[in-house]
Amino acid sequence: MEKQRFLFEKMDKENPVIAGVDEAGRGPLAGPVVAAAVILTRNLNHESIKDSKLLTERARESAFTLICQEAVSIGIGVISPEFIDKFNILNATLEAMKRAVLCLSPEPELLLVDGTQRIPVPIPQRCIKKGDRKVKLISAASIVAKVYRDRIMRAMDKDYPEYGFIRNKGYGTKEHLLALIKYGPSPVHRLTFKRVSGLT
What's the pTM? 0.90
What pLDDT is stored for residue 48 in this prediction?
79
Q: Which residues pair with 38 in a beta bridge?
A: 20, 74
pLDDT confidence of residue 52: 87
The residues of the chain scoring below 50 in pLDDT are: 1-10
Q: Which CATH entry fits the domain spanning 2-153: 3.20.20.70, 3.90.1150.150, 3.90.226.10, 3.30.420.10? A: 3.30.420.10
- Looking at residue 162, the DSSP 8-state letter turns out to be G
Predicted confidence (pLDDT) per residue in 144-185, tens digit? 999 999 999 999 999 999 999 999 999 999 999 999 999 999
Q: What is the structure's pLDDT at 51?
A: 81
Q: What is the pLDDT of residue 41?
A: 82
Q: What is the reported pLDDT for 196? A: 96
Which residues, in sequence order, are CB contacts of 97 under 8 Å at separation 6+?
Answer: 21, 23, 35, 37, 77, 113, 119
